[in-house]
């Protein structure tokens, strides 16, 4: 265990996050997401919901602030955004204007270009997001 590192961030997950470069995207997926179908590394966190995983990941990587959106969500079929997505936005800690939405199949197509998928135990529909990694700034 490491001091100052969220304990759900396993060694393998930290290694995969460290390998991401500026602009690389990762998917934080709910339990129903077809994570193993796109051929990139998949980290399984089956007992943890997606907002919790998002918050932990954001504790070690910044969102990209060069592109229009740092976070992408799947557009819900309902008129209103599901509660889980509000929780994901809060956990991602990005400004509302940095959050975009993609229609379901466009989301899957975009997710297919991701470098990493983290499949959570999130049981709620639309508990997925794509996060684009920003630049890690050194304070040294």
> Given pLDDT bands bounded at 50, 70 and 90, which one contains residue 126?
very high
Model confidence, pTM:
0.94
Q: What is the pLDDT of residue 117?
A: 98
Spot the catalytic one: 22, 36, 86, 104.
22
Share of the chain above pLDDT 70, in %: 99
86 is catalytic: no
CA dihedral 58, 59, 63, 65 (to 10 degrees): 150
pLDDT tens digit string along 48-104? 999 999 999 999 999 998 878 999 999 999 888 999 999 999 999 999 999 999 999
Q: What is the pLDDT of residue 11?
A: 95
> Given pLDDT bands bounded at 50, 70 and 90, which one contains residue 137?
confident
Q: Is the dihedral of CA 94, 5, 12, 85 positive or negative?
A: negative
SS3 annotation, the chain: CCCCCCCCCCHHHHHHHHHCCCCCEEEEECCCCCHHHCCCCEEEECCCCHHHHHHHHHCCCCECCCCCCCEEEECCCCCCCCHHHHHHHHHHCCCHHHEEEECHHHHHHHHCCCCEEEEECCCCCCCCEEEEECCCCCCC
Share of the chain above pLDDT 90, in %: 86
Distance CA 126, CA 49 (A): 12
């Amino acid at each position: 265990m490491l001091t100052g590192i969220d304990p759900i961030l396993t060694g393998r997950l930290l290694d995969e996050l460290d390998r991401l470069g500026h602009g690389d995207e990762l998917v934080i997926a709910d339990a129903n997401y077809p994570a193993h179908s796109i051929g990139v590394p998949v980290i399984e966190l089956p007992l943890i919901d997606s907002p919790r995983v998002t918050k932990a990941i954001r504790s070690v990587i910044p969102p990209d602030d060069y592109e229009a959106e740092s976070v992408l969500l799947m557009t819900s079929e309902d008129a209103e955004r599901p509660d889980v997505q509000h929780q994901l936005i809060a956990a991602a800690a990005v400004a509302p204007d940095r959050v975009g939405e993609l229609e379901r199949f466009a989301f899957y197509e975009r997710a297919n270009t991701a470098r990493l998928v983290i499949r959570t135990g999130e049981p709620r529909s639309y508990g997925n997001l794509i996060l684009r990694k920003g630049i890690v700034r050194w304070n040294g």
